[in-house]
Amino acid sequence: MNVEDSPLFSHYSSVASLFDEYLDPSAEVRDHYIMLSEHFANLTTEDLNRLNEEAKIVFFNEGVTFAVYSDKNVGTEKIFPFDLMPRIISRKEWDVIEKGALQRTRAINLFLKDIYNERNILKDGVVPHELVFSSKNLTRHMDGIVPPGEVYTHISGIDLIRHSDGDYYVLEDNVRCPSGASYVLANRNTLKKVLPKLFDQCQVQLVNDYPEQLLTMLQTVAPENVDDPNCVVLTPGIYNSAYFEHSFLAQHMGVDLVEGRDLFVENDFVYMKTIHGPKKVDVIYRRIDDDFLDPMVFRPDSILGTPGLINAYKAGNVTLVNAPGTGVADDKAIYTYMPEIIRYYLNEEPILKNVTTYRCEKDDDFEYVLANIDKLVIKPVDESGGYGIQIGNTLSPAEIEEVKKMISEDRRKYIAQPIMSLSVHPTFIEETGNLEPRHIDLRIFTLLGRDFEHVVPGGLTRVALRRGNLVVNSSQGGGSKDSWVLA
Amino acid sequence: MLSRIANNLFWAGRYIERAEHTARYLQVNYFSALDAPISVQRNFVLDSILRMNGYNQITPLEEGQVLLTVALSDENPNSIIQTIRNARQNTRGSRDILSSELWEAINKTYHFVTNYNVEQFKHTHLFDFTQSLTELVSSIKGKIDSTLLHNEAWAMIKLGLYIERAYQILNAILTKLDDIEHLRDTGDAPSMVSYQLATLLRGLEAFDMSRQHYKRALTGTDALEFLLFNEQFPRSVLACLSKIENQLSLLNEGSSAKQDSSEFLAGKFYCELKYMTIDEVEANLRGYLQQARDHIFVLCEKVDEEYFTH
Amino acid sequence: MSEYHVSYHAVNSYEHQVTGAFFRFIIVPADNEFQKLIKMKLRSNVPVTWWISERVKDGKELYVRANKPFTEFILDLETRIIINQVNPFNRPILPREIQWKTLETTEWKVENAYFLQAGHPKDRSYIPPEWMDKFPAPNTQQGMLDHLITLREFLFSKIKFCPESTDVHTKAIETYQLKAGVCQDFAHLYSAIARRQGIPTRYVCGYLCQGKNYKGAGQLHAWVECHVPGSGWIGIDPSNNLMADNHHIKIAHGVDYGDCAPIKGVILNGGDHTSEHTVFVHQAQSAQQ
C-alpha cells in the first residue's frame, strides 16, 4: 500500500537521513503498520480533529493531568499532550527489547548489590572505583544492606532510541523511581475509547494489569515473616507534579496513598496513623527522592520525610522500593561501563546496544576523538543536566580547537559519543491538521521482585511535538503516544 | 482510613457548612435591613454580619468593604471564598475515595466563587451571589448523601458538617442576643425584638417551620425553644447532636462508647439537652449558650485526639 | 580491665512550647571487642517513648519521642562499661615496605574507600591538595604507626587546644589557619591529612575518663582511628597527643562530626533554642571478682 492513498498522509514524507518507523526507505508502509494505515486512510482531517478533541475530553474527565503551580497554592492542571496515532512495535522486535531490558535490569541490580557489599567489580578493576566513590548518588547508608529478595531496583525505566541505522540504543537508565507508567495506562484507556475498532483488529498485548503486577512485586519483597504485607505509596503530596501518577497507582493497587507525616517510627518499625490507631507498614513504594526520606539521615531540613525511617529499613522491618542509593547505577559515567557490567555479572553479551562511547583517557580513543570532533558529542563524565556538553557539528573551527585543548588538559574528565538521531513517526499536528513526522523515543518499564520479573509490553513513547526538536520531555513541549506490541 | 485524610474530610464538612451559614446570614440580614423599622440600623446590621463571621473590626467599615470581607476577601480566613477554597483543597487530596460527582460539585462551587465579578457583587449582585452559593452548597450536600458509600469517609464529612452546624446555630443566636440587647440599650420599641427574631429564624431557614409548629406569632422564647430543642427540625442543636452521635457510633463500628470518648460526650450532651426545659435555659440564657458552645469545642478536641493524631 | 560509669546530662531549652519532638542521640557507648556496655538507665523530665537502634557497623543510636509538650527537655543517661586493656603496640605489625605497598593496591582502596575520600571543599575534614607539603610526608623508611605518631606530634605542636575558639561547623582548613581548636577540630584536620596520604581514617566520638587532666574531659570527646594494613584500626587522640587507650570509651565513628552529632531532632514549633550537655565519667573502684 502506498501513502498517497490517504488524504491525511498527503503531506507526509520521510527524511532520508532518519529512520521512519512507519515507512520503509522505498516509501512503502511497513508490514506491522498496514492495518493502522488502512484504518487512517478512511479518515479525514475533520475526523481526526474530532477524535483529537474526544481524546482530550477523556483525559480531562479522568483527571489525567500534571499540575503547574503559581502563587497562592492555586494550581493549574494541564493534560499531558497525547497523540492519536499509536506507535507499533512488531512482535519480533519486542522480543529482543524485552530480553534486553530484563538483562540490563538484572545486571544493574547485581551491580548495586556488589557495590554495597563485596565490591568485587571494583576490586577486579572492571569499573574504576574512583568513578563509583565520587558519584553523588552513592550513599554510605546502604553499605552492607541486602534488601529482601536481593532486589535494589524494583522499578526501572530504560530510555531507548532508534538510530538512523535502524538499531535500538539505550540512551539512559533510570533506576531512581522512574515515572510515566500511569500515562501508559491512561493512553491505552483513551485510545481504546477513541479508536475501538482499530484496537480490536490489531490484537495488542495488554498493559492494564500493571497495577496488579506492581502490587504482586511489592508483596514479594515484604520483610521476612510478614504474611499479609501492608503496602503503601509514599508521595510528597498534592503539590508534586507527578501527584496524579501517585494517586492513580495507589488507587488501582487498592493501597493507601500516604505522606511522610502519616508515618511514624517506633522501635525501628514503621506505622501509619489511621482513625483506628497505628497500623504497621511493611512495604513502601516511595515516590520521594533519597534526600527527603529521613531528616535524621539525609537532608535535615526535609519536612516530607519520616524521622527514623532509614534505621527501620536497615533493621529489615520495612522495605523501600526502590532501595536508597540506586542512583549510582544510572550515573552517566557508569553508563559507559554497562556492557562490561552485563558481561561481568551475567557472562552474556549485551542485547541492547549502548551508544558507542570513547573514553578520552584511552590513547586510541583519544586520537579518534581529536580527529573526529565534528561528528561527536563531547560530555564531561561528572556533570549532569546537560551541563558542559559540546555538540561537534555546531562548533566553529576555533571552538573545535578550544574543545581539543580542554580535553587534552584533563583526558579522564571527558567521553565522546556519535551524534545520535531519533527515529520519526507520523504524528497529528493540530496547527496544520496533517500527519507529520516527529522524533520519538521509548521508555521501557521493568519490575523486579523476589523470583518475579515483568516488562510492561510497549512502555511509554514520548514524542517531540515541535518540528525538528529532539527533546521529548513534557516540559519542552513533548507529548506521548500509546505504544502497541502486537500479540 | 488515614488520620490525615479523615481530618481533611472532617474539615471539608465544616467548611462547606460554614460557607452556607455565612452566605445565608449575609443575605437575610442585609436585605431585611433595607425595610427595617428604623432606617439608621444599616450600620448596625453590617456590624452584626461581621460579628457573626467572627471578624473583629475596631474601626467601622463602609458597606462595600464589609460585604467583600465576609464574601470574597483573601485576608479573612472565614470569608466564603476562603472556606470554599479550603473545602476544595481538603477534598482534592482524597479524590480517590470520593465520587467524581461530589468532586465536580465542589469544583464547580469553587470556580463559581473564584470567578465571581467583584464589582458586580459589591453593587448589584449580592442576592445572586448568596442565593447561587446556597444552592451550590445544597447540591454538594446532595452528592455527599446520594453518591458516596455511607462508610467512614462519609461519616467524617457528615460529622464535620453537623458539628459546624450546631456551632453556627449557637453562634447565630448569640449574635442576635447581642443585637437585641444593644437595641434595648438604645431604648427601641419591642417591635424591633420580634423583627430580629424573624431574621434569626429566616437566616437558619426555620421561619416557616416554626410558624407551622407553634401556629401563632412567635415569642422570643418560642424561637429559642425551636432552635435548641426541636428534634424534628434539622437545624436545631438537638437534631445536630443526635446526628453527631450517630456518625460517631458509625465510626466506632458499633462498639459501645467508652467513658469520656467523643461518642460518650456527644451522647451525654444530647441527653442533657433533651431533658432541659426552656425555662431553665432562660434563667441564665447567655451563660447557657456559651456553655453549649464550649461543649462543642471540647467535643471537637476529643474527636481530634481520638481520630486524627494516631 | 577497667569499669567506668558514664553520666550524660543534656538540657535543651526552647523559646516557645514544643508540640512534638523526635530526637536521635548518639551518646550510648558502643559494644565491641574492646568494650562492653553492661548497664544503661534513661531518665527524662517529659514522658517519652525510646528505643535503641543498632547502627549497621559498630555503634548505637538512641531514638526518643516526647509524648507531651514542653519548653525544656532534660535527658539523663547513666551507663556502665567494661573496657579491656588496649595497647596499640601489641597489635601484629607487618614489615613497613608491605604496609606502604598495601596502600597502593586497588583492593585496599576499594575496601576502605569511604574513609579515604578527600571530600569536598565544604566538608569539615577537607584540606586542599596543595597544602600537603606543609605536613610530615609519609616516609617509607618509617613504619606506618611511627608516621602516624609523627603526624600527631606535629599537629599537637602547631595547633593550640583552645575551648570556644571554634564551633561544630569549623572546617579543617579554618583550624589550620587559626592554629587553634578543640578535640573535633584536631580530629578533622588529622583525618584530612592522613586520608590525603592514603591512610584510611575515621572520625570517632566518645567519652574520656576525667581526673587525668585530659583535654576534652567533662564533654563529649573526639579522636580518630587509622587503618594500618595488618594491624587494624588504631585509635589516635591528636588533641591529647596520645594513643587512644582504656581511658577512651568509644560511642561511634563516621567520616566526620556530621555522622556522629550527639543530638539531632525534628521539633514542631519551639522557636530558638539552646542546648547544653555535661558528661561525668569515673572509674569504678576495683572489687573482688
Distances (CA, A) of A151 to A106, A221, A444: 9, 8, 18
Site from B1, B2, B91 to mutate, A interface, most A CB atoms within 10 angstroms:
B2
Q: Are A283 and A221 in contact (CB under 8 A)?
A: yes
Q: Are C230 and C94 in contact (CB under 8 A)?
A: yes
The separation between CA A170 and the C-alpha centre of its own chain, rounded to angstroms, equals 11
- Taking residues C1-22, report their average pLDDT: 91
For residue B138, what pLDDT is reported?
95
To the nearest whole Å, the CA of C106 is away from the closest chain A CA by 6
Q: Please check whether residue B3 touches A, CB under 8 A.
A: yes
Domain end point (choices A381, A399, A418) = A418
Q: What average pLDDT is seen over chain A?
A: 88
Half-sphere exposure (CA, 13 Å, Cβ side) for A418? 10
What residues of chain C lie within 8 A of the CB of A296, using their CB?
Answer: 24, 264, 266
Question: Which range is least confidently modeled, A1-5, A416-420, C101-105, C116-120?
Answer: A1-5
Domain end point (choices A418, A440, A455) = A418
For residue A356, what pLDDT is reported?
87
Residue A391's CATH number: 3.30.1490.270
For residue C215, what pLDDT is reported?
73
Q: What residue has cell string 474601626?
A: B59
The DSSP line for C243-278 is E--TTEEEEEEESSHHHH-SEEEEEEE--SEEEEEE
| pLDDT(C35) > 50 | yes
Rounded distance between C-alpha atoms, residue A84 and residue A80, angstroms:
13
Q: List the 274-303 stretch of A: residues with Cβ below 8 A of B.
A: 274-275, 277-278
To the nearest whole Å, the CA of B57 is away from the closest chain A CA by 25
For residue A157, what pLDDT is reported?
94
Q: Do domains C2-84+261-283 and C90-260 have the same CATH topology?
A: no
To the nearest whole Å, the CA of B285 is away from the closest chain A CA by 37
| pLDDT(A478) > 80 | no
Dihedral class, residue B189 (left if φ above 0, else alpha if ψ from -120 to 50, else beta):
beta
Give me the amino acid identity at B130: T
User: Are residues A312 and A362 both part of a single domain?
Assistant: no
Distances (CA, A) of C177 to A436, B219, C120, C173: 66, 88, 18, 6
For residue A477, what pLDDT is reported?
64
**b/e per residue, A137-159, with b = 16+ CB within 10 A?**
bbbbbbbebebbbebbbbbbbbb
CB contact under 8 A, B96 and A251: yes
Distances (CA, A) of C109 to A118, C102, C187: 13, 9, 21
Dihedral class, residue B276 (left if φ above 0, else alpha if ψ from -120 to 50, else beta):
beta
More confident residue, C277 or A216: A216
Taking alpha carbons only, the member of B240, B238, B201, B239 closest to residue B219 is: B201
Rounded distance between C-alpha atoms, residue C54 and residue C30, angstroms:
9
Q: Please check whether residue A477 touches C, CB under 8 A.
A: no
Consecutive H or E run containing A376? strand A376-380
CB contact under 8 A, C255 and A140: yes
For residue A234, the SS3 value is strand
What residues of chain C lie within 8 A of the CB of A123, using their CB?
Answer: 106-107, 110-111
What residues of chain A lie within 8 A of the CB of C57, using their CB?
Answer: 143-144
In the numeric block, which cell numbers belong to residue C116? 579515604
Q: Are A299 and A236 in contact (CB under 8 A)?
A: no
Q: A71: pLDDT confidence band, cut at 50, 70 and 90?
A: very low
Q: A360: pLDDT confidence band, cut at 50, 70 and 90?
A: confident
| pLDDT(A473) > 80 | no
| pLDDT(C152) > 60 | yes
Q: Please check whether residue A262 touches B, CB under 8 A.
A: yes
Q: Please check whether residue A118 touches C, CB under 8 A.
A: no
| Out of B1, B74, B92, closest to residue A238 by CB | B92
CB contact under 8 A, A262 and B3: yes
For residue A161, what pLDDT is reported?
92
What residues of chain A lie within 8 A of the CB of B309, using their CB?
Answer: 273
Taking alpha carbons only, the member of A124, A221, A127, A161 closest to residue A420 is: A161
For residue C202, what pLDDT is reported?
96
| Out of A63, A247, A262, closest to residue B2 by CB | A262
Q: B228: which residues sit within 8 A by CB, 6+ positions away?
A: B236, B237, B238, B273, B276, B278, B281
Q: A417: which residues sit within 8 A by CB, 6+ positions away?
A: A355, A356, A357, A358, A376, A377, A379
Dihedral class, residue C249 (left if φ above 0, else alpha if ψ from -120 to 50, else beta):
beta
Q: Say how many residues make up chain C.
A: 289
Q: List the 140-159 stretch of B: residues with Cβ below 8 A of A.
A: 152, 156
| pLDDT(A471) > 70 | no
To the nearest whole Å, the CA of A475 is away from the closest chain C CA by 33
CB contact under 8 A, A311 and C63: yes
pLDDT digits (tens, 9 = 90+) for A233-269: 999 988 888 888 998 999 899 999 999 999 999 999 9
More confident residue, C176 or C33: C176
For residue A382, what pLDDT is reported?
58
Give me the amino acid identity at A339: P
**b/e per residue, A427-447, with b = 16+ CB within 10 A?**
bbbeeeebbbbbbbbbbbbbb
To the nearest whole Å, the CA of C51 is away from the closest chain A CA by 5
Q: Please check whether residue A295 touches C, CB under 8 A.
A: yes
What residues of chain C lie within 8 A of the CB of A118, using their CB?
Answer: none
| pLDDT(A434) > 60 | yes
| A&C contacts, CB < 8 Å | 54
Residue A265 CB neighbour total at 10 angstroms: 27
Domain ranges of chain C: 2-84+261-283, 90-260
What residues of chain A lie within 8 A of the CB of C110, using their CB?
Answer: 119, 122-123, 129
The DSSP line for A1-57 is -BGGGSGGGTT----TTS-BSSB-TTSBBPGGGHHHHHHHHT--HHHHHHHHHHHHH
Is there a domain that residue A93 lies in? no
To the nearest whole Å, the CA of B284 is away from the closest chain A CA by 38
| pLDDT(A6) > 50 | yes
Distances (CA, A) of A140 to A295, C25, C113, C225: 15, 19, 10, 18
For residue C104, what pLDDT is reported?
94
Taking alpha carbons only, the member of A180, A29, A135, A31 closest to residue A93 is: A31
| pLDDT(A481) > 60 | yes
Closest-CA residue in chain A for C48? A266
Residue A272's CATH number: 3.40.50.11290
CB contact under 8 A, A257 and B96: yes
Q: Are C199 and C226 in contact (CB under 8 A)?
A: yes
- Taking residues C237-244, report their average pLDDT: 92
Q: List the 1-40 stretch of A: residues with Cβ below 8 A of C.
A: none
Q: A1: pLDDT confidence band, cut at 50, 70 and 90?
A: very low
Q: Please check whether residue A53 touches C, CB under 8 A.
A: no
Closest-CA residue in chain A for B304? A275
What residues of chain A lie within 8 A of the CB of B1, using their CB?
Answer: 274-275
Q: Are A226 and A269 in contact (CB under 8 A)?
A: no
For residue A267, the SS3 value is coil
- Taking residues B122-139, report their average pLDDT: 91
pLDDT digits (tens, 9 = 90+) for B273-308: 999 999 998 888 899 999 999 999 999 999 999 999
Q: Are C266 and C22 in contact (CB under 8 A)?
A: yes
| Out of A122, A140, A307, closest to residue C266 by CB | A307
The separation between CA A377 and the C-alpha centre of its own chain, rounded to angstroms, equals 22
Q: In the complex, which subunits touch C with 3 or more CB pairs below 8 angstroms? A: A
Rounded distance between C-alpha atoms, residue A82 and residue A465, angstroms:
10
Q: Please check whether residue A300 touches C, CB under 8 A.
A: yes
∠ at Cα B5 (B4, B6), nearest 5°? 90
Q: What residue has cell string 493497587?
A: A253
Count Cβ atoms within 10 A of the Cβ of residue B204 and give its class: 0-12 exposed, 13-18 middle, 19 or more buried.
Answer: buried
Distances (CA, A) of A69 to A72, A77, A245, A457, B43: 9, 9, 17, 33, 41
CB contact under 8 A, C110 and A314: no
pLDDT digits (tens, 9 = 90+) for A23-49: 998 888 999 999 888 888 888 888 888
The separation between CA C202 and the C-alpha centre of its own chain, rounded to angstroms, equals 8
Site from C26, C48, C56 to mutate, A interface, most A CB atoms within 10 angstroms:
C56
Residue C288 CB neighbour total at 10 angstroms: 3
For residue C283, the SS3 value is strand
For residue B36, what pLDDT is reported?
66
- What domain range includes position A368? 357-418
Complex confidence, ipTM: 0.91
For residue C54, what pLDDT is reported?
82
CB contact under 8 A, B310 and A274: yes
pLDDT digits (tens, 9 = 90+) for B223-280: 899 999 999 999 999 999 999 999 999 998 877 778 889 999 999 999 999 999 999 9
- Taking residues A444-466, report their average pLDDT: 93
Q: B41: pLDDT confidence band, cut at 50, 70 and 90?
A: low
Question: Which range is least confidently modeled, A41-55, A153-167, C28-42?
Answer: A41-55
Question: Which range is least confidently modeled, A185-194, A397-406, A430-439, A471-480?
Answer: A471-480
CB contact under 8 A, C24 and A308: yes
CB contact under 8 A, B96 and A250: yes
| Out of A247, A256, A275, closest to residue B251 by CB | A275
| pLDDT(B53) > 90 | no
Count Cβ atoms within 10 A of the Cβ of residue C212 and give its class: 0-12 exposed, 13-18 middle, 19 or more buried.
Answer: exposed
In the numeric block, which cell numbers belong to residue A228? 499479609
Is there a domain that residue A140 lies in? no
Give me the amino acid identity at B261: S
pLDDT digits (tens, 9 = 90+) for A219-237: 999 999 999 999 999 999 8
Choose which CATH entry (3.40.50.620, 3.30.960.10, 3.90.1150.10, 3.10.620.30) describes domain C90-260.
3.10.620.30
To the nearest whole Å, the CA of A296 is away from the closest chain B CA by 21
Strand C180-181, strand C160-161: pairing: parallel
Strands of A64-130 (E only): list them. Answer: 65-69, 75-79, 82-89
More confident residue, A360 or A67: A360
| Fold of the domain built from segment(s) C2-84+261-283 | Immunoglobulin-like (2.60.40)
What residues of chain C lie within 8 A of the CB of A266, using their CB?
Answer: 49, 51, 65
In the numeric block, which cell numbers belong to residue A393? 557539528
Distances (CA, A) of A277 to A271, B3, B155, B160, C202: 9, 8, 17, 20, 43
CB contact under 8 A, A295 and C110: no
CB contact under 8 A, A247 and B251: no
pLDDT digits (tens, 9 = 90+) for A115-133: 999 999 999 999 999 889 9
Name the DSSP class of A486. Answer: B
Rounded distance between C-alpha atoms, residue C37 and residue C47, angstroms:
25
Q: Are A2 and A33 in contact (CB under 8 A)?
A: no
CB contact under 8 A, A273 and B2: yes
pLDDT digits (tens, 9 = 90+) for B79-122: 999 999 999 999 988 887 888 889 889 988 998 998 888 888 88
More confident residue, A359 or C264: C264
In the numeric block, which cell numbers belong to residue C11? 538540657
Rounded distance between C-alpha atoms, residue A31 and residue A23, angstroms:
9
For residue A242, what pLDDT is reported?
84
What residues of chain B lie within 8 A of the CB of A275, using their CB?
Answer: 1-3, 6, 152, 156, 251, 306-308
Percent of chain C with pLDDT over 90: 65
Strands of A144-294 (E only): list them. Answer: 155-162, 168-174, 231-234, 256-258, 263-266, 269-274, 277-280, 283-286
Half-sphere exposure (CA, 13 Å, Cβ side) for A359? 13
What residues of chain B lie within 8 A of the CB of A232, using their CB?
Answer: none
